[in-house]
Amino acid sequence: MTSEHNKEIDESKQGEAVLLEGTSNGNGKKLYVESYGCAMNFSDSEVVASIMAKEGYSTTRNVDEADVVLINTCSIRENAETRVRTRLGDLKQKKKNNPDLVIGILGCMAERLKKSLLDEEKLVDLIAGPDAYRDLPNLVEEVGTGQKAVNVLLSRDETYADISPVRLDQGGVSAFVSITRGCDNMCSFCVVPFTRGRERSRDPKTIVQECQDLFDKGYREVTLLGQNVDSYRWNLTSKGEIKDSAESTTNFAELMEMVAHVSPELRVRFSTSHPKDMTDDVLEVMAKYENICSNIHLPVQSGNSAVLERMNRGYSREWYLNRIEAIRRIVPNCGISTDIISGFCGETDEEHNDTLTLLDEVVFDFAYMYKYSERPKTLAERRFTDDISEEIKGKRLAEIVEKQREHAHICNLKQVGQIEKVLIEGFSKKSQEHMCGRNGKNSMIVFPKGDFNKGQYVMVKITSCTSATLLGEVVEVCATH
């Protein structure tokens, strides 16, 4: 899964084509969009589909019938970019068969490589950075006149707040809603501040309206997305002037409360939290509302304070453990997940060992684990040497993964015997005889399909587990209000 660190998208869905809800007044042209990386990218593709739908494009899942192919890319690690280049290789033959086919690169790779991507990948016609999607219809038109088209301008205020995203292939139950764009943190390993620009928050009224619309259409879960949701801050007064006072400011805790009021039957999730900014008032709001899921994604990156300092994360091991203690105290039984990087610049065996002991102290429900991958232009590339060999990075990563696998199993075993409220997402991946859904903690639970439907809430008794999944049976269907 993603960029930055929005929760990443299920590996099986990476690259998958997105499907547009029926469009009328079409121009007969078809758009095929493929997304890589984080939830924010998948959410942006829905904005792109909406912008193109206004021009009459309908989307297709079949790349062979497309007039325009847009690849929404990720730059977070080198292998994310390699994957996109391999995919572009596959598209070469299609372009040969249909020279009018427009191929565009969107997202972080477009922003990072800009025009040079046109020289490197000859078949690409169009490059659009994350803040340039409103310009896509013009860019496509420009390509129609035989030119290459590029817009990689970053904006200080673009949030696409007024665009109602076309929901793509999430089964009609759960949707992403972006609340901030960009990031001002400058973690030294991270390319995101360069590819997505300065942090800006979206008007809370438009966020609540979007969540209400989703609920009215039958959605039962929203995930509020931002690179660092805790720094969400809107300070526009009703008169429209910017004024920074407590009365005129909406912070993340307040925004979450506003979204929780849309309906007690709309579950609210959010991602990603930053340990340096996660405040107790957010935790208190979580504890207050049953429909705000007890789940926090809190990337730690390393368990060693000196490494955290080199990473420019703005907190120490002790601070992080204090935040974990606050979560456990204020939101008992909260699911906690994290991101970890192995083999950052200069990481010693002892520093790596601190990551392992932190894992033991916290026992995370879930973790995304990566080898450090140096990214051009980042602070780490300029200041430090990427001096840990691939072999050692791999060995350390394997130790982290093995420990986390044991911990996930322990966390799942603790849930066996419990009865959990589950929102049904659809059939299980492996069998049409089973349905699946998540509990508040975000654990996936699989159970016999019975007469149940996606979008329904059921109480499920958990009967057994693996380190990845819980198995159970429905003991009660929840009444709707």
By CB under 6 A, name the binding residues for ligand 5AD: 2-5, 76-77, 189-190, 299, 301, 339, 341, 370, 372-373, 375
Residues binding ligand SF4: what is the number (CB under 6 A)? Answer: 12
Nearer to ligand SF4, 60 or 228 (CB): 228
Q: Which stretch binds ligand SF4 (CB under 6 A): 43-51, 187-195, 239-247, 421-429?
A: 187-195
Does residue 180 belong to the site contacting ligand SF4 (CB under 6 A)?
no
| Partner whose footprint covers residue 249, from ligand 5AD, ligand SF4, none (CB < 5 to 8 Å by kind) | none
Quick one: tokens of 83? Answer: 């994957």
In DSSP notation, 111-165 reads: HHHTTHHHHHSTT--EEE-TT-GGGHHHHHHHHHTT--EEE----SS---TT--P
Nearer to ligand SF4, 50 or 201 (CB): 201
User: CA angle 299-301-306, nearest 5°?
Assistant: 135
Least Å from the CB of residue 432 to ligand 5AD:
33
What residue has token string 């089973």? 434
Phi, psi of 211, deg, nearest 5: -65, -40
Q: Among candidates 154, 162, 163, 207, which has minimal Cα distance to 182?
A: 154
Does residue 271 belong to the site contacting ligand SF4 (CB under 6 A)?
no
Using CB under 6 A, which of 7, 95, 269, 274 touches ligand SF4? 274
CA distance 42 to 45: 5
Q: Among candidates 345, 334, 342, which has minimal Cα distance to 401?
A: 342
Quick one: tokens of 473? Answer: 């049976």
CA distance 64 to 93: 11
| Partner whose footprint covers residue 76, from ligand SF4, ligand 5AD, none (CB < 5 to 8 Å by kind) | ligand 5AD
User: CA angle 314-320-321, nearest 5°?
Assistant: 160
Does residue 77 belong to the site contacting ligand SF4 (CB under 6 A)?
no
Size of the chain, expressed as the number of residues it contains: 481
**Cis ω for the linkage preceding 60 (within 30 of 0):** no
Nearer to ligand 5AD, 218 or 376 (CB): 376
Does residue 192 belong to the site contacting ligand SF4 (CB under 6 A)?
yes
Least Å from the CB of residue 364 to ligand 5AD:
13
One-letter amino acid for residue 392 of the chain: I
Which residues inside 16-55 make contact with ligand SF4, applying CB under 6 A? none
Does residue 187 belong to the site contacting ligand SF4 (CB under 6 A)?
yes
Least Å from the CB of residue 227 to ligand SF4:
4
Q: Which stretch binds ligand SF4 (CB under 6 A): 170-178, 180-188, 384-392, 400-408?
A: 180-188
Nearer to ligand 5AD, 81 or 420 (CB): 81
Using CB under 6 A, which of 52, 190, 283, 341 touches ligand SF4? 190
What residue has token string 């009328």? 24
Nearer to ligand 5AD, 159 or 355 (CB): 355
- DSSP 8-class letter at 236: B
User: Which positions from 212 to 241 touch ligand SF4 by CB under 6 A, shown as an x/- string?
Assistant: ---------------xx-------------
Least Å from the CB of residue 8 to ligand 5AD:
7
Least Å from the CB of residue 389 to ligand SF4:
24
| Partner whose footprint covers residue 375, from ligand 5AD, ligand SF4, none (CB < 5 to 8 Å by kind) | ligand 5AD
Using CB under 6 A, which of 5, 112, 269, 297 touches ligand SF4? 5
What residue has token string 């603790």? 414
Q: Among candidates 3, 180, 18, which has minimal Cα distance to 108?
A: 3
Q: Among candidates 275, 219, 226, which has minimal Cα distance to 252?
A: 226
CA distance 339 to 350: 19
CA distance 251 to 257: 10
| Partner whose footprint covers residue 227, from ligand SF4, ligand 5AD, none (CB < 5 to 8 Å by kind) | ligand SF4
Q: Dihedral angle at the C-alpha atoms of 83, 87, 90, 93, nearest 10 degrees?
A: -140
Nearer to ligand SF4, 277 or 399 (CB): 277
Q: How many CB atoms lie within 10 A of CB 224?
A: 22
Least Å from the CB of residue 1 to ligand SF4:
14
Q: Which stretch binds ligand SF4 (CB under 6 A): 19-27, 181-189, 330-338, 421-429?
A: 181-189
Helix (H) or strand (E) holding 106: strand 102-106
Using CB under 6 A, which of 84, 103, 140, 183 touches ligand SF4? 183
Does residue 193 belong to the site contacting ligand SF4 (CB under 6 A)?
yes
Q: Which stretch binds ligand SF4 (CB under 6 A): 152-160, 184-192, 360-368, 434-442?
A: 184-192
Q: For the sheet containing 366-371, what is the strand order? A: 295-297, 335-342, 366-371
CA distance 262 to 256: 10
Least Å from the CB of residue 105 to ligand SF4:
20
Residue pair 268/252 in contact by the 8 Å Cβ criterion? no
Residue ranges that bind ligand SF4, judged by CB under 6 A: 4-5, 183, 185-187, 190, 192-193, 227-228, 274
